[in-house]
Amino acid sequence: MPAPDGAVDDGPVAHTADAPGLTVAATARRLGVAPGTLRTWDRRYGIGPSDHAPGRHRRYSPADLARLELMKRALVRGVSPAEAARYALSAPVPDRAPAPVEPDREGPRVGGRVLRLRGTDGRARGLGRAALALDSAAVSDLLTESVRRDGVESTWDDVVRPVLGAVGSRWAETATGVEVEHLVTACVSAVFGALVGEAGSVREARPVLLAAAPGEQHALPMLALAAALRARGVAHRYLGADLPADALVAAARRTAPAAVVLWSLMPQTADARLLSGMPRTRPRYRTFAAGPGWDGAVLPQRTARLTSLRGAVATITEAVRV
């Protein structure tokens, strides 16, 4: 009698006329989802293996695999499972779908694991799915599309931050997911970095200096700020992470900036003496302390706190254009 829907297959079989395609377990490994997810898609949405011959386990053909790939891509972009299934079932599949290959039977299985992203929109959920699948191309595509459609600030606040926060929460609870955080950070750095480096007309009078404090390795929010200022046409110099104090002083003297923004994530790197020791130039410039590391710190006069990307962009833009 036919194998039940819940039967567990141990691996792929040869692609022959008698036993074509991949088993449930092999298809799941190929796609990076759990076997139970495939069975749910089949049961709820009718997107399953087309081979129903009696007397053997159900097999996924190349065309079935192509439809599942379409569904997965739609899910990564934040589409609901029902809508993704309708799209995958109605879309034409290639005449020659990629032939199944033998997956690594000991490879990672990320299917069935989800990030806690309650209250977020489809962009964040899609990015979370792509991140867990370690699909860097999908992560980069989603970020690029979000920036194009909604801007840097919305992409950072509504997409990137929720996903990185969820990854951090998972690590705190399970001590897993560092590879996910590294992949997302690398993709965000590449997408935002490309925006910062774009050629085009930007106001070049008195730039804003953006730097992370000495010893501060986590400067991704400053790169987001640089990209957002670039989109507003505000000239800046992004000096990256862990900038030595003497290098910051030298940069201020050489550029006569309109403002200096110093980022600290941790209290250990938030040294107010760095700000009070900045050189005086004419005309004078504003100084800003950004990041949670400055919480509770006693700041020099004329130094303001920046606590969010949207607030930072608005405040800096107003300050340099007065």
Query: Which stretches does DSSP call E strand in the chain?
Result: 208-212, 236-238, 259-263, 286-290, 303-306
pLDDT for 199? 62
Residue identified by tokens 């400053």 is 222
pLDDT for 160? 95
Q: What architecture does CATH give domain 24-90?
A: Orthogonal Bundle (1.10)
Regions of the chain where pLDDT drops below 70: 1-20, 51-57, 76-80, 93-114, 172, 199-204, 322
The answer to whether 184 and 163 are in contact (CB under 8 A) is: yes
CATH of 122-196, one of 1.10.3720.10, 1.10.1240.10, 1.10.645.10, 1.20.210.10: 1.10.1240.10
In a 3-state reduction of DSSP, which class is residue 200? Answer: coil
Phi-psi region of 161 (alpha: psi -120 to 50; beta: other; left: phi over 0): alpha
DSSP code per residue over 52-107? --TTS--BB-HHHHHHHHHHHHHHHTT--HHHHHHHHHHSPPPSSPPPP----TTS
Paired residues of 303 in beta bridges = 287
Backbone angles phi, psi at 301, to 5 degrees: -60, 150
pTM of the model: 0.69
Domain borders along the chain are 24-90, 122-196, 208-320
pLDDT for 121? 81
Amino acid at the residue 223: L
The answer to whether 114 and 163 are in contact (CB under 8 A) is: no
pLDDT for 69? 84
Of 201, 254, 243, 203, nearest to 219 by C-alpha is 243
pLDDT for 50? 79
Topology given in CATH for the domain delimited by 208-320: Rossmann fold (3.40.50)
What is the C-alpha separation between 257 and 236, in angstroms, rounded? Answer: 9
Of 210, 303, 305, 306, nearest to 252 by C-alpha is 210
Of 130, 60, 129, nearest to 98 by C-alpha is 60
